[in-house]
């Protein structure tokens, strides 16, 4: 994960038709504007729950995120994308939105590990919201 365009990616078996409702559920159930996780020796992460629709031709929803080292000294500002990739699945990715600081550039394996852990936590939240009863299944045009 660096400013050269490398990102951490995870496939999610989520029907694209429910993405808007799923993201709305995440936003409604999150106190405040962001959800976050302490990821132990990896550091911590925070993702804004206000995803907005971007991307063409593939529908994409985007939010901002922050990743911190374990001592919470160095931060990486990042972008999270949820993109429709197939009729029954989406791709969740995280990438930095600014060039990396020299501190993080020297610790790329640690940053990749932190980004994977943050993406896994967010993926589990989204999968949980995707399985809730009463989710609208007619979101995409």
Q: Under CATH, what is the fold of the domain 8-130?
A: Alpha-D-Glucose-1,6-Bisphosphate; Chain A, domain 4 (3.30.530)
Domains in the chain: boundaries = 8-130
Spatial separation of the C-alpha atoms in residues 50 and 69, rounded to whole Å: 24
Q: Is the pLDDT of residue 51 over 70?
A: yes
Mean pLDDT of 91-105: 90
Distance CA 17, CA 46 (A): 26
> What pTM was estimated for this model as a whole?
0.88
């Amino acid at each position: 994960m660096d400013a050269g365009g490398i990102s951490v990616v995870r496939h999610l078996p989520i029907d694209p038709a429910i993405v808007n409702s799923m993201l709305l559920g995440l936003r409604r159930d999150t106190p405040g504007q962001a959800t976050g996780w302490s990821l132990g020796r990896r550091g911590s992460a925070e993702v804004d729950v206000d995803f907005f629709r971007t991307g063409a031709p593939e529908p994409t929803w985007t939010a901002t995120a922050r990743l911190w080292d374990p001592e919470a000294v160095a931060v990486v500002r990042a972008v999270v994308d949820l993109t429709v990739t197939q009729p029954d699945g989406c791709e969740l990715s995280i990438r930095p939105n600014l060039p990396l600081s020299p501190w993080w550039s020297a610790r790329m394996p640690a940053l990749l590990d932190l980004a994977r852990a943050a993406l896994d936590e967010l993926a589990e939240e989204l999968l949980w919201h995707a399985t809730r009863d009463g989710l609208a299944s007619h979101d995409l045009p």
